Amino acid sequence: MKIAEINRQDEMIYPGHNACPGCGAALAVRYLTKALGKNIVLVLTASCWSIISGMPPLTALKCPILHCPFPSAGSVGSGVRRGLNARGHHDTTVVVLAGDGGTFDIGLQALSGAAQRNEDYIFVCYDNEAYMNTGMQTSSATPFGARTNTAPYPLYKEGEKKDIMQIMAAHTVPYAATATVAFPADLEEKLKTAQKVKGFRFIHILAPCPPGWGTESSDTIEVSRLAVATGFFPLYEVRNGTNWKLTVPADIKSASLSQYLGLQRRFKEMDDRRLNELQHEINRDYQRLLDQVAKVTAETQQ
C-alpha cells in the first residue's frame, strides 16, 4: 500500500481535534480508523486521547466513542462486544484504545482477563512511553534511562521497559502486532488483518510525543522510523502466541541508538554506561525475536 492510497481513504478523524502538533497518538488513530472503516465502536480509556477526542457534544471521530474509567478498558470492551452481539450488531468492530499506562500498568489486569477469555475485539495500545495526560510521569513502558517528571534529573527511569508483546503472546491471543506511525502501510495492513481475525487481537503502536519526549514536532516520523531501524521497536506480528513474523526488519547499519536518543531531550543526560546498558537490552530482545521468527521458519520448512 502506498501513502497516496492511504491519503485517499475516508478520514474518520475530524480536523480541529485537541492533540499537540506532531502528536503520534493522533496520527496512529487516524491511520487505524482509516484502516478499519466506519462500522466501528471505540472504547476509550483515560489518556491523552480523552482530551484529543474533544468536549461533548463535539467529537473528533466519526464513530461512537465510549469513554470509560482508567483501569476498566479491557472489561468495558468485553461488555460492549457482548452487548452489541446481543443486539444483533455482529459486524461492528469493537476497538479498545488505551495509552501505555492504561495497558501496561493500571489496565493490565483487565487486559489480561479479556485476552485470556479471548474476547472478540481489537485492543490498541498507543504507547508514548509515559503518562502524558497528567504531564509525563514514568510508566512501566518508559524506557530505561529516560527522564520523566517522576524521575527528574539527576534521576532517570530505572528498570527496563515492560515487554507487553511477550506478555500478550504468552496469553496465546490469536493475533498481536506492533506498529508505528512512520510505517503507515504496515500499520494499516496489520489492522486490516486484525479485523478479519476472530477473538482477541492486540496492537501495540509506538506513538512519539513531542512535548513528552522533547522532540521537534516535525521529527515525529523520523523518531518513529529510527525506533524501528535501531531495533528499539521492531515491527512484527505473532499469531496464537507462537507464530512470529518480522514485518519490517531493523536496519542497524543505517541508524545508531545515540542518533535515536539524540533527537529526544528526555535522554539528554544519558551517559555511556546507560547507553550501553540500553543497547544491551535492545540487542538481547531483538535477538530473541529473531530466534522466535527463525524457529517458525525452520518448522514450516520441515
Q: Which residues contact ligand SF4 by CB under 6 A? A: 19-20, 23, 25, 48, 52, 128, 132, 209-212
Tell me the closest approach of the beta carbon of residue 184 to ligand SF4, in angstroms: 17
Of the candidate spans 30-38, 126-134, 259-267, 279-287, the one that interacts with ligand TPP by CB under 6 A turns out to be 126-134
Grid coordinates representing 106 are 493500571
Closer CB to ligand TPP, residue 53 or residue 230?
53
- Picking from 189, 234, 228, the residue whose alpha carbon sits closest to that of residue 31 is 189
The pairing of strands 93-99 and 122-127 is parallel
Q: Enumerate residues 6+ apart whose C-beta is below 8 A from 44.
A: 50, 53, 65, 66, 67, 68, 73, 97, 98
Residues 44-73 that bind another protein (CB under 8 A): 44, 50-51, 53-69, 71-72
- Does 230 contact another protein by CB under 8 A? no
Q: Per CB under 8 A, which region of 32-40, 218-226, 231-239, 292-300 contacts another protein?
A: 32-40
Q: For 112-264, list the strands marked E by DSSP.
A: 122-127, 175-180, 201-206, 235-239, 243-248
46 binds ligand TPP (CB under 6 A): yes
For residue 84, the partner it binds in another protein, ligand SF4, ligand TPP, none, with Cβ less than 5 to 8 A by kind, is another protein
* Binding segment (CB under 8 A) for another protein, from list 82-90, 162-170, 197-205, 218-226: 82-90
* CB of 184 or CB of 212, closer to ligand TPP: 212
Is residue 105 involved in binding Mg ion (CB under 5 A)? no
Q: How distant is the alpha carbon of residue 221 from its chain centre?
A: 15
> Does residue number 107 form part of the binding site for Mg ion (CB under 5 A)?
no
Q: How far is CA 39 from CA 26, 254, 258, in A?
A: 19, 40, 43
User: What's the length of the chain?
Assistant: 302
Least gap, CB of 125 to Mg ion (angstroms): 9
- Is the previous residue joined to 57 through a cis bond, with omega within 30 degrees of 0? yes
